[in-house]
Structure 1
Amino acid sequence: MKWLIAMFAAMWLNSTMAADCDSTLYDVSQAADTAKLYYTQQGVGFIAVADGIGPTRPAFEQITMSKCLVLETPWQMIWVGADSQSCPNQAKLEAKALDYARKFNQKMLKLARSDVNFKCNLVENVNPVDSK
């Protein structure tokens, strides 16, 4: 009986870890439209990419990450990091997922800035060298 449970767990883990290996999930040309649809149905939400030890949040490089953004805003995670090293074409898959998340997040940031109900401040980081 234990071997049956172990076998089931192993099969489930493999399918779970490989769940984001399907590169058709990340159609970059549809990312902005998907963001708009998500916003219409559920409000503001962003995508992070688990591509290493911590998640990458594409399109947020120049935005100050606040408690409100990180903890009080919905985030979907694309798992293409260390746990998916067995994915075919892993490097291309990761690049595609990052590009998809960037396009999605850029559109969502535009929508969030115009949403009077969105309670988080989107503060742009200013490089002191650039402001002179």
Structure 2
Amino acid sequence: MKKILVLVLLFLVFSKTFADCSFKSKMDSYKPENAATLAEKAFQVNNIYFIAVADGVGPSRPGFDIPLTSCIYKNTKWDMLWVGADSQYCASHEALIARAKRYAQNFNKTMVRLASSKLHELCPELSKQ
């Protein structure tokens, strides 16, 4: 029993020590009100990508309002905002996730709107849905 308790305590200490709180230091670069403009600029130079948010066990894709097919996943670029699974040890954990999701939602909605015809060309099965 003592071994289990020691292992649990070590896990908690190491989890907190190695938590990835890097998004907190970059948070000012991810202003939700600027995301749509950045998506438009990226689209203009043919830099089509989407943003996922690592906010738990698996990433969420806020504002990505079309079905995520394997074709889209394989044929498009994804940027990941790491605010998830191990960030519960970071100060302002909920605020970090909320901001990252708002930013990704604004960016993805704009990019999907702008790039929808190109996405349909890449993945014809989208037209059937």
TM-score (normalizing by structure 1): 0.71
> Which secondary structure does the structure 2 equivalent of 1:104 belong to?
helix
Give how far 1:21 is off.
Answer: 1.7
Counterpart of 1:49 in structure 2 is 53
CA distance in 2, matches of 1:85, 1:114: 39
CA distance in 1, matches of 2:126, 2:117: 14
- The one-letter amino acid of 2:95's match is K
- The one-letter amino acid of 1:109's match is V
Give how far 1:36 is off.
Answer: 1.3
Counterpart of 1:39 in structure 2 is 43
Q: How many residues align?
A: 112
> Which secondary structure does the structure 1 equivalent of 2:28 belong to?
helix
Deviation by residue 1:55-113 (Cα, 9 ceiling, x = unmatched) = 001123x4221112112210000001012222221101101100100000000001112
CA distance in 2, matches of 1:121, 1:33: 28
1:99-114 equivalences in 2 (<5 Å)? 99-114=102-117
Q: 1:119 to 1:31 in 2, by over 3 A?
A: same
Counterpart of 1:4 in structure 2 is none
> Which secondary structure does the structure 1 equivalent of 2:89 belong to?
coil
Structure showing the higher helix proportion among its residues: 2
Identity value in percent:
37
RMSD: 2.8
> Which secondary structure does the structure 2 equivalent of 1:46 belong to?
strand
CA distance in 2, matches of 1:18, 1:42: 31
Q: Residue 77 of structure 2 is aligned with which of 53, 70, 74?
A: 74
- The one-letter amino acid of 1:65's match is L
- The one-letter amino acid of 1:78's match is L
Runs of 4 or more, structure 1, over 6 Å off, are none
